[in-house]
Amino acid sequence: MYDDDIASVMVTEDQVREKIAEIAAKVAEDYRDSCGTGGPQTDLVLIGVLKGAVMFMTDFARALPIPTQLEFMAVSSYGSSTSSSGVVRILKDLDRDIAGRHVLVVEDIIDSGLTLSWLMNNLDARRPASLEVVTLLRKPDAVKVEVPVRYVGFDIPNEFVVGYGLDYAERYRDLPYIGTLSPTVYA
């Protein structure tokens, strides 16, 4: 599938699975005392950022050995499909109040950091008990705004990547691995 479109595999399906298990163990350890021990309202709230984080969110939630509640926000940056502009719009907001809750934002990738920076300010204003971020991928060389990120899967070079939730013009999200796109696709 998409064979001619993918130039190289950057993170394999196995590497994704192993990294998720590793992060899940850390997160479970970190939240063991604060979450899930005092009823449903103490469950950790995962906020997946649609659409890119969907694959990571669902695999991550299933790898976590502590109870979580799943929420989604759809935010999208205006501008071209391969770079962010920093102008963010909410397409879908949370279904529930997160005041007093332990919240972990789940992202597929931090590129410029503009989406996440805006989102963290927005969520922080809702007064959660704690607010942290887990991202599967991060591009240190592309960052424009520093956002403190508690859990990072892979730091990757500043190349355009697709798969495992990440798209180019809405395609390739369904690939089970993360790869670079062949230049012929842009042409």
Binding interface with Mn ion (CB under 5 A) = 52
User: For residues 179 and 163, is the Cβ–Cβ distance under 8 A?
Assistant: yes
Residue of 108, 111, 155, 167 marked catalytic: 111
Q: Is 77 in the site for ligand PRP (CB under 6 A)?
A: yes
Residue 111 appears among annotated catalytic residues: yes
Rounded distance between C-alpha atoms, residue 36 and residue 41, angstroms: 8
Q: Which of residues 101-120 bind Mg ion (CB under 5 A)?
A: none
| Residue 176 three-state SS | coil
- The site partner of 111 among ligand PRP, Mg ion, Mn ion, none (C-beta below 5 to 8 Å per kind) is ligand PRP
The nearer residue to Mg ion, 53 or 103, going by C-beta atoms, is 53
Q: Which amino acid, one-letter code, is at 124?
A: D
Q: Which of residues 149-168 bind ligand PRP (CB under 6 A)?
A: 167
Residues 107-134 as b/e (b if ≥16 CB within 10 A, e otherwise) read bbbbbbbbbbbbbbeebeeeebeebbbb
CB of 123 to Mg ion, least distance (A): 20
CB of 167 to Mg ion, least distance (A): 5
The 8-class DSSP code of residue 127 comes to -
Q: Is 135 in the site for ligand PRP (CB under 6 A)?
A: no
Q: Is 115 in the site for ligand PRP (CB under 6 A)?
A: yes
Please identify the residue of the shown chain whose CB is closest to the bound Mg ion. 167
Q: Which of residues 26-65 bind ligand PRP (CB under 6 A)?
A: 49-52
* Phi, psi (rounded to 5 degrees) for 48: -85, 135
DSSP codes of every residue in 48-59: EEETTTHHHHHH
Contact positions vs Mg ion (CB under 5 A): 167
Residues labelled catalytic: 111
